[in-house]
Structure 1
Amino acid sequence: MKTLGIFRHAKSDWHDARLRDFDRPLNKRGRKGAALMGLHIRDQAVGWKRVLASPAVRVTQTIELAGESAGEMPPITWDRRIYLASSATLLDLLREQTGDPGSIMLVGHNPGLEDLIFDLVPDDGRSPMRDLVEEKFPTAAYAVVELDIDSWDALSEGSGRLVHLTRPRDLDPELGPHPLD
């Protein structure tokens, strides 16, 4: 059994049209959401052994704020392939992990993260939270998937069960959808 955490970056700032997508920082709501989700992730006490993350600015800031809030952060591997990656790319990245850690957290972007959940978690009724992901896997959402595998190189579609899903609005209604989102 392996455990995969999936953490989407917090809400980013779109006000400076000159910035490349990769360079967009978090906005005020995103900073608040990242810090709140950091506390929540810590309180789940999974004990992440490895973090794989996109080096995009909004991801690095999300991780920094979540880690400061939680007071802890496991080792991070920054991998540019995660930036706007497809589910297939994320699956390949996870399969190539060495040292066989029991738990890995992936921090990145949609639609890849959401599609990864759909690819790993079958729509068979064993994971009722999957329906919430179908509605939307919003910014700063955090999911945990238990995988019925013994090693990461054995990761395959349909091998997971979604056991946890928290969106920022679940912890603070002010962080929920706004009319302009």
Structure 2
Amino acid sequence: MKTLYLLRHAKSAWDDPDLDDHDRPLAPRGQRAAATMAKYLGERKAGPPMLDLVLCSTAVRARQTLERVLPAWTSPPRVLVERDLYLCGADALLERLRGLPEEVGAAMVVAHNPDLHKLATGLAADGPEELMHSLHAKLPTAGFVTLSINSGEGWGGLDWGQAMLADYVTPRSLD
């Protein structure tokens, strides 16, 4: 069984209207939310997820979010920062996941909405009713989703509706 973790970047700053969207950093609120998620990941009963690979968008806010959560892992996972994950669409994210090597048992994607929200809701066919309802309503900044992949074909056979929503946590739910 494969496990997919999705982490939406934390809240970005909008105080410089001339700054390209790709280059927007985290806002102070986003920095606090990323720290909250790092604390949550580090203090989980089972510890942070055992990750084989992290795929992260090149956008500044995504990289800064990842930088703030990585200290939760005593042995940080392998990280690939990829421009193609920046506002690429849920279908492109799914295609990227299909290309993961089969030896990757657990992967995390750090990227953007609406892409991550569409990916999460499109993959999750089942899960606890309250979590499913919350996820379908919204994937806020710094939201963290855990999906158990039901495809017997591994990453290459991953398709819509082939996952179970195992967990869904937001910074607000932790406060």
> Normalization by structure 1: what TM-score?
0.88
Q: Does 1:107 align with 2:120?
A: no
Give the paired residue count.
Answer: 170
Mapped to 1, the partners of 2:75 and 2:103 lie a distance apart of: 22
Contact 2:102-2:155 within 8 A present in 1 as well: no
Residue type at the aligned position of 2:71: E
In structure 2, relative to structure 1, the CA distance for the partners of 1:19 and 1:82 (3 Å cut) is same
Q: CA RMSD in A?
A: 1.5
Mapped to 1, the partners of 2:139 and 2:75 lie a distance apart of: 25
Q: After TM superposition, give the deviation of residue 134 of structure 1 in Å.
A: 1.9
Q: After TM superposition, give the deviation of residue 100 of structure 1 in Å.
A: 2.7
Once the two structures are superposed, the pairs formed by residues 21-100 of structure 1 within 5 Å of their partners are 21-42=21-42, 43=44, 44-68=47-71, 70-100=73-103
Residue type at the aligned position of 1:8: R
In structure 2, relative to structure 1, the CA distance for the partners of 1:28 and 1:72 (3 Å cut) is farther
Question: Which string of whole-angstrom CA distances, capped at 9 and with x for unpartnered residues, describes residues 48-104 of structure 1?
Answer: 111011010001100111123555521111111111121100000000112431100
In structure 2, relative to structure 1, the CA distance for the partners of 1:96 and 1:89 (3 Å cut) is same
In structure 2, relative to structure 1, the CA distance for the partners of 1:71 and 1:46 (3 Å cut) is closer
Residue type at the aligned position of 1:144: T
> Normalization by structure 2: what TM-score?
0.91
The structure where strand makes up a greater share of residues is 2
Question: Which string of whole-angstrom CA distances, capped at 9 and with x for unpartnered residues, describes residues 101-149 of structure 1?
Answer: 1100011000000000111012x6x442121012210000001000112
In structure 2, relative to structure 1, the CA distance for the partners of 1:10 and 1:71 (3 Å cut) is farther
SS in 1 for 2:167: strand
Contact 1:39-1:70 within 8 A present in 2 as well: no
| Gapped regions of structure 1 (runs ≥ 5) | 173-181
Once the two structures are superposed, the pairs formed by residues 143-158 of structure 1 within 5 Å of their partners are 143-150=145-152, 151-158=154-161
Q: After TM superposition, give the deviation of residue 171 of structure 1 in Å.
A: 1.1
Q: After TM superposition, what 4+ stretches of structure 1 lie above 6 angstroms from structure 2?
A: none
